[in-house]
Amino acid sequence: MDDLRELYQEVILDHNKNPKNYHELDSPSHTAEGYNPLCGDRINLYLIVENDIITDISFQGSGCAISKSSASLMTTELKGKTITEARDLFHSFQRMITNKSDFEEDFNTIGKLAVFAGIREYPVRIKCAGLAWHTVFSALENGDVVSTE
Ligand code: ZN
């Protein structure tokens, strides 16, 4: 378990140092800004959704290693997924980090996001890990649509 924990930590630190999809999108269909006052994490999310599929997603922001690496991994997982698949993944992720999951049951869905399983031991970090996800769904649900004209 210690080896596994170390490996997970390495993945998190690597995504913090070299975040994926870390840029603005030219003509996003949806954007939102997220803020976690508990830690000071800020994130800007950019999405292109076509026919209910997230065809592109990116982010920028500043914050702790957990918030940044969670956003980075999230973008790699959500690209190409339907909104429904994204929502299912979010629910599994939330159950995992708040320790409400039957982890075995969710494990197949959760994939690489399992590196954040240890967060449940640090309740104050749950909001850091969840920030990017909440921002995506606020962009999608509140219809915070950027005009492309
Ligand atoms: Zn944070």
Q: For residue range 89-145, list pLDDT tens digits in order.
A: 999 898 888 876 566 666 677 888 988 988 888 888 999 999 999 999 999 987 555
Q: Can you tell me the distance from the alpha carbon of 117 to that of 99, in angstroms, rounded to the nearest whole number?
A: 8
Q: Which residues contact 127 (CB under 8 A, 6 or more apart)?
A: 36, 38, 39, 41
d(CA 117, CA 120): 6
pTM of the model: 0.89
Q: Ligand 1 centroid to 31 CA: how many Å?
A: 21
What is the whole-number distance in angstroms between the Cα of residue 8 and the centre of ligand 1? 17
Q: What does the pLDDT average to over 16-34?
A: 95
Q: What is the pLDDT of residues 38-47, one digit of tens each?
A: 999 999 999 9
Tell me the C-alpha distance between 48 and 28, whole Å: 5
97 CA from centroid of ligand 1 (Å): 14
